[in-house]
Structure 1
Amino acid sequence: MSSPTPAASLRSVALAAFLPAALFAIGEGAIIPIIPVVASDLGASLPFAAFVAALILVGELIGDVPSGWLVSRIGERTAMISAALVSTVGLLTCVAAPNEWVLALGVLLIGLSTAVFALARHAFMTSFVPVEIRARALSSLGGVFRFGFFVGPFLAAGVIHLTGSTQSAFWIHVGGCLGAAAVLLVLRDPTAVLGERRAAAAAAGSPVDPAAGATAGPTPGEVAVEKEARGLFATLARHRGVLLRLGSGAALIGAMRAGRQVILPLWAVSIGVDAPRTALVIGIAGAVDFALFYTSGQIMDRWGRLWSAVPSMVGLSVSYLALSLTHDLDARVGWFIAVAMFMSLANGIGSGILMTLGADLADRADPAPFLGAWRFTGDAGSAAAPLLISGLTALVSISVASGVMGLLGLAGAAILLRYVPRYSPHVPRDRR
């Protein structure tokens, strides 16, 4: 009896692995742009509307580490279903919100549940996807989320146009959450499918090492032993060194990515580009970013993680530095368009890098606690970057803010070059 190839093993569970994430991401992409608008409609001031919009990221940041503990205790499938239901409660709260404070509570609940949902899918991929296709699988998962964020706003615009109510966009995410939960309930749990195949391969005498071609994944007994031997805080203490060193690089990756979502529209405003042209440029740039997700995975799986991480960070840094030097040039609009495209190209080349590095560093038998802490580092950088850019823009100038981001990106590239583990796709993971 021959064991299935890694690609065949992944294809056999792709529907259950990716469809719930796609439904959830489309819903989230639909509501993110309209949260500040709804807050303003309910009477919030401009600063408080911005605060309400930021609460979804704050909720993810707060939920990252506890979600690792939760997923390791109740399992990926149960955690995702629970997160979808909690998110639905938050969304219904937003739909019925009579004022901005109730809306803020609902948005915070959505952020907390998003942390659990995303980490549960990440933990599944870490445990059960063969290492030689791990980067492609995780980049594809990242591509699924990017697809949702790309499509969601268009759906929201259509629903708002048909209903005349901005808050009606929240129903898109309600449908996404309930659809994701239904898929998880109806389709077989991919964890069980791959676990059975691994057990069958072992019983038939086939190789079970992921690099040898069998499906990766721990047995239930291995998981139980790991959970008894190592709880959440013990896991964090054990990995404090890598979280401080490589985690700082992850934070800077998150900062560079989040910063571009702030700097590009601000830059367009500062040089006098009108709103329709700004939306068109950023939309095309987003399509370039999305189109490269699988290419990034192929690069990482074939040549190693550094060949995606470092070029991506250097490219983003060069983009920020180029912006900082072109604000007052006669061709500044042309420079803005060129830099926006190059920035998206650089970001697309790094698609999935944070999830892949987290999966490489986590324990395969029980990855969730470490992945929660790992995701926290990236999300912390994502939360800090907009604050840094807005603060430097207010105190000095947007050119200085862009230049500082470029220098931080170069520092991040140096950290990644120093600390990212060298990877060979031809060497089994447990022999490296």
Structure 2
Amino acid sequence: MLWRFAPMIYGPTLLFALGEGAVIPLLPVIAAELGADVPTAALIASALVVGQLCGNIPAGWAVARFGERVTMAGGGTLAIAGVAGLLAAPSLPVLAASVFLIGFCAAVFGLARHSFMTTRVPLGFRARALSLLGGTFRLGMFIGPFVAAGLLAVFADEHAAFWFFGGCLVATVILVLVGADPETEMAAVREPAATGDPCFAEDTGEAVTGSIPTSERAGVFRTMWRHRGVLSRLGLAAASLSAVRSTRQVVLPLWGVSIGLDAQSIALVVGISGAIDFALFYASGQVMDRFGRLWAALPAMILMGAGFLALSVTHDLDSAAMWFAMFAAVLGVGNGLSSGILLTLGADVAPPADPAPFLGSWRTLTDAGGAVAPLLVSAVAAVSTLGLATAVMGVVGLLGAGAFLRWVPRFVPRA
């Protein structure tokens, strides 16, 4: 069933990520053309993350109220309006509002598919399915910048990438509205044991393949309060993982600059680290499904935490460039091993009958961790050194590993 509906399940995510990945590198360029200085351009680019952070809880409400298909179609339509704003932005406030709207809609797409996987995919295949979903998003974000570079070479106009994003969004909305609805089709498979379907034959003891009840739905804030225990414990551990992940994206380029490497060398090292990360996304799902969630979360956090700590003491060494390349690869391995773990843990602890409101809160926590980490790195580096800031995030990673070790066995018992 998953393979049968793969284009509908993974296609919208791939199209949205492909267009978004093409646009993100050009946002500072467009902001500069409208008169923004470097801090203002960075602020406008960060509106994408802020929009996604703000969109998680409303997206959870919308998915619970209207369903995945209607919510994704609405989110795609709003995102098209955001792209139109990018194309016609006469001023920086309009540009920032358009970027914020696109980030808001990205949260809608992410949460809709996360909710779908939570309710429709059997527990025995959940981690692999969600790792593949995360890998699909990473693939789009990886290819998108190359598409933008090709469009710039052909048209010599940054707006060509915005038109490409708009085309991806139109194709996404058409696919969602016209294609077979996996939410409805997979809901028809309600008694796998009786049908003998090998994909759904495993009895996990958890009702995850039935239809979503429409009665007795709790509101978003009531759901947050009801599940405050898991959100304040395992949710904070997940936020620490998100923080360490985003730190890698910020620290590696800054570290290369600080030790005197040229842009080409930095890009090569960061690219190799990203390639290692992308290559391991499905292996992470295999590990989680076969051995348990902790076997992916704990090694990933230990590798990234220890990697940042070790990198922090190599800045002034004669072989600083070699250590930079080596620990960038270590961080890539750690990040790759954690692929899909936040999605999977959120699905594991979400209420099976109505997961969307809970997942909105869960994703808000994890996105907040990713948004706060660069600010923390910047603040510590401003008052001290980049090495100390890197070490602080290494400590955060090791503390997060301890939190996973404490809370995963409690909230996600091994069946």
TM-score, normalized by the shorter chain, greater than 0.5: yes
Partners of 1:349 and 1:203 in 2: how far apart?
36
Tell me the amino acid that sits aligned with residue 246 of structure 1: L
Alignment map for 1:25-174 (pairs within 5 Å): 25-174=17-166
Shift of 1:202: 8.2
Shift of 1:225: 2.2
Q: Is the 8 A contact 1:65 1:373 kept in 2?
A: yes
Tell me the amino acid that sits aligned with residue 409 of structure 1: G
Partners of 1:86 and 1:359 in 2: how far apart?
26
Aligned partner of residue 170 in structure 1, secondary structure: helix
Cα deviations by residue, 1:343-391 (Å, 9 ceiling, x for unpaired):
0011000100000000000012211000000001110010001101111
- Tell me which moved more, 171-180 or 405-414: 171-180
Shift of 1:306: 0.4
Shift of 1:198: 1.7
Cα deviations by residue, 1:40-86 (Å, 9 ceiling, x for unpaired):
11111111100000000000111111111111001011111111111
Q: Is the 8 A contact 1:226 1:365 kept in 2?
A: no
Q: Is the 8 A contact 1:197 1:215 kept in 2?
A: no
- Tell me which of 16, 27, 30 is aligned to 2:8: 16
Tell me the amino acid that sits aligned with residue 224 of structure 1: T
TM-score (norm 1): 0.92
Q: Is the 8 A contact 1:303 1:424 kept in 2?
A: no
Matched, 1:306 2:306: no
Residues 290, 226 of structure 1: alpha-carbon distance in 2 compared, 3 angstrom cutoff: farther
Partners of 1:121 and 1:159 in 2: how far apart?
29
Shift of 1:168: 2.3
Aligned partner of residue 210 in structure 2, secondary structure: coil
Aligned to 1:191: 183
Shift of 1:339: 0.8
Which runs of no fewer than 5 residues in structure 1 stay unpaired?
A: 1-8, 428-432
Partners of 2:146 and 2:342 in 1: how far apart?
27
Tell me the amino acid that sits aligned with residue 316 of structure 1: M
Residues 208, 20 of structure 1: alpha-carbon distance in 2 compared, 3 angstrom cutoff: closer
Tell me the amino acid that sits aligned with residue 162 of structure 1: V
Q: Is the 8 A contact 1:209 1:215 kept in 2?
A: no
Aligned partner of residue 393 in structure 1, secondary structure: helix
Shift of 1:33: 1.4
Q: Is the 8 A contact 1:130 1:210 kept in 2?
A: no
Shift of 1:38: 1.2
Q: Is the 8 A contact 1:282 1:340 kept in 2?
A: yes
- Tell me which of 334, 340, 350 is aligned to 2:338: 350
Partners of 2:294 and 2:389 in 1: how far apart?
27
Shift of 1:210: 6.9
TM-score (norm 2): 0.95
Q: Is the 8 A contact 1:217 1:364 kept in 2?
A: no
**Superposition misfits of 4+ residues, deviation over 3 angstroms:** 201-211, 213-216, 421-425
Partners of 1:204 and 1:271 in 2: how far apart?
62
Shift of 1:260: 0.5
Q: Is the 8 A contact 1:198 1:216 kept in 2?
A: no
Matched, 1:383 2:374: no
- The number of equivalent residue pairs is 413
Cα deviations by residue, 1:185-214 (Å, 9 ceiling, x for unpaired):
222100111111226x58879999874289
Aligned partner of residue 2 in structure 2, secondary structure: helix
Matched, 1:325 2:316: no
Residues 91, 175 of structure 1: alpha-carbon distance in 2 compared, 3 angstrom cutoff: same
Shift of 1:277: 1.5
Q: Is the 8 A contact 2:189 2:209 kept in 1?
A: no
Shift of 1:424: 6.7
Q: Is the 8 A contact 1:131 1:210 kept in 2?
A: no
Q: Is the 8 A contact 1:91 1:173 kept in 2?
A: yes
Identical pairs, percent: 49
Matched, 1:181 2:173: yes
Partners of 2:69 and 2:409 in 1: how far apart?
30
Aligned to 1:212: 203
Q: Is the 8 A contact 1:198 1:208 kept in 2?
A: no
Aligned to 1:281: 269
Aligned to 1:338: 326
Cα deviations by residue, 1:283-307 (Å, 9 ceiling, x for unpaired):
1211110110100000000000000
Residues 197, 168 of structure 1: alpha-carbon distance in 2 compared, 3 angstrom cutoff: same
Tell me the amino acid that sits aligned with residue 25 of structure 2: P
Tell me the amino acid that sits aligned with residue 146 of structure 1: R
Residues 207, 326 of structure 1: alpha-carbon distance in 2 compared, 3 angstrom cutoff: closer
Q: Is the 8 A contact 1:124 1:191 kept in 2?
A: yes
Tell me the amino acid that sits aligned with residue 361 of structure 1: V
